[in-house]
Amino acid sequence: MDRSRWGRIQNLFHEAASLPPAEQQAFLESACGEDQSLVADVIALLHEDACAASLLDQPLAEVAHKVLAQDSHWPPFHELGPYQIRKVLGEGGMGVVYLAERKDLGSLVALKLLRDAWLSPARRERFSAEQRTLAQLNHRSIARLYDADILSDGTPFFVMEYVEGLPLTDYCTQNKCSVERRLQFFRQVCEAVQYAHSNAVIHRDLKPSNILVRSDGTVRLLDFGIAKQIESLDVSTQQTTMTGLRLMTPAYAAPEQIRGQRVGVQSDVYSLGVILYELLCDRLPFDLSNLAPTEAETVLLEHELPDSHAQGLGAQISLGGSADA
């Protein structure tokens, strides 16, 4: 492999790793064009980063040969205390989420482990903050925290309610939900967010993939991985600004998040507005599908919403689906 291609793989890897797992494939396909082998190489790196030792702890040549020449390995264990690992549910920049079963109760849970916790104390601190945040939230539309602990090597993990459902926008599209039904879902989301805000917690990464609709029609708000205690923002804002920028999702992020400025409850409200727009129009306010993250940020910060979008909103509402699903 020549040096320029490896450099390209590295750049794409770092950009993709900062995105939620569900968005990595689409980003890579857009960024790599027709070069499917490049997509495969970066995906191999992402899997290796999730399942093996830190890439930073290995020689570059060894990483290139090992990762790109063979499949990654999972999992390093099959049981954790009373929990038996079933499969990987998802993986991101901070951790890996597994579907697990509590053997004595026979119940399914979502178990999240912080990858390479020993490597980055900042990531370990953020993961621990996530445990504390979730532990104080008790709302019917927020995924519950059942357990939290630390492995013998210092790796923290927590066990959450396993939510089986579809992302909010996917559910509404597949079931051809009426405008009224979409607004009912949105109200449930707003009630959950308002509850979190009343407990001095902001989410900071609200988006449809973090809002699942279950078969009974109830919603669950997921992933407080980058949530922060509101009262502690002024303490660590300078230290975490750039990290927070990479962990949020540009298409749903408020302008102050993209600029790296202080966030607050208004940041969640902005994201809710984007979600509502998408629910009613079946599209985002801005098309970022073919843009790299840096290009997307430029569009969001420097361009106003086209009038045609706003004019089409009324038509979309009046012609919305008639089903009550």
All structural domains of the chain: 3-69 (no CATH), 79-161 (3.30.200.20), 166-318 (1.10.510.10)
Task: For helices 21-32 and 3-17, give the axis angle rounded to 10 degrees.
Answer: 150
Mean of pLDDT values over 123-127: 65
Mean of pLDDT values over 139-152: 83
Higher pLDDT, 313 or 282: 282
Residue 318 has pLDDT above 50, yes or no: no
What average pLDDT is seen over the chain? 75
Backbone angles phi, psi at 17, to 5 degrees: -65, -25
Helix residue ranges per DSSP H, 141-178: 168-174
Mean of pLDDT values over 246-263: 77
pLDDT at 58: 46
Lowest pLDDT segment from 121-135, 169-183, 236-250, 299-313: 236-250
CA angle 12, 52, 156 (to 5 degrees): 105
Residue 174 has pLDDT above 60, yes or no: yes
Q: For the whole model, what pTM was predicted? A: 0.64
Residue 112 has pLDDT above 80, yes or no: yes
The DSSP 8-state label assigned to residue 178 in this structure reads: B
Residue 172 has pLDDT above 80, yes or no: yes
d(CA 302, CA 110): 39
Highest mean pLDDT (candidates 45-54, 58-67, 183-192, 235-244): 183-192
pLDDT bin (cut points 50, 70, 90) of residue 88 is confident
Inter-residue contact 74 to 82 (CB < 8 Å) = no
Lowest pLDDT segment from 134-143, 152-161, 238-247, 283-292: 238-247
pLDDT at 242: 40
Mean of pLDDT values over 50-56: 48
- Chain-centre distance of CA 161, in angstroms? 17
Residue 317 has pLDDT above 90, yes or no: no
324 included as an active-site residue: no
Higher pLDDT, 317 or 256: 256
pLDDT at 141: 95
Q: Is-cis flag, bond preceding 75, omega within 30?
A: yes
Higher pLDDT, 150 or 200: 200
Catalytic residue among 205, 223, 287, 307: 205
Higher pLDDT, 134 or 16: 16
pLDDT bin (cut points 50, 70, 90) of residue 269 is very high
